[in-house]
Amino acid sequence: MKRFVLLAIVAASTVSALAADVRVSVAVGQPTYYGRIDVGSVPPPQVIYVQPVVIEPLPAGVVRQPIHLRVPAKHAKTWRKHCRQYDACDQPVYFVSEEWYGDAYASGPGRKNDPGRGKGQPKG
């Protein structure tokens, strides 16, 4: 029994130590996904507005890299009203176009050429 308790304590401490560096994986690429897009290995995104949108200006001397978000069109148009939902009011934001998201991102390398999908079959 002591061995089991010791093993449980070690396992719990390992899990809590690893939990500090846990990242949540969301199923991006799906038509219903809205949120942050990591554009690391895909073609440069087509964006809705040329300049990044910032609602709450940053303090002098603070520089933040812009992020790319996919949001519904009406959220982009009224960003001041919706930026808190995405935790991005004080962040420069580029809104990616629906066309780019569907063509270049959502159907990326692992999805575009699925072996089970023949020509003429719908994506997804």
**pLDDT tens-digit series, residues 78-107:** 999 999 999 999 999 999 999 989 888 877
How far, rounded to the nearest angstrom, does the alpha carbon of residue 5 sit from its chain's CA centroid? 40
What are the residue boundaries of the structural domains of the chain, listed by start? 32-56+64-107
d(CA 54, CA 99): 23
Q: What is the pTM of this model?
A: 0.62
Report pLDDT digits (tens) over 1-56.
555 444 455 455 444 444 444 444 445 667 788 999 888 877 789 999 999 999 99
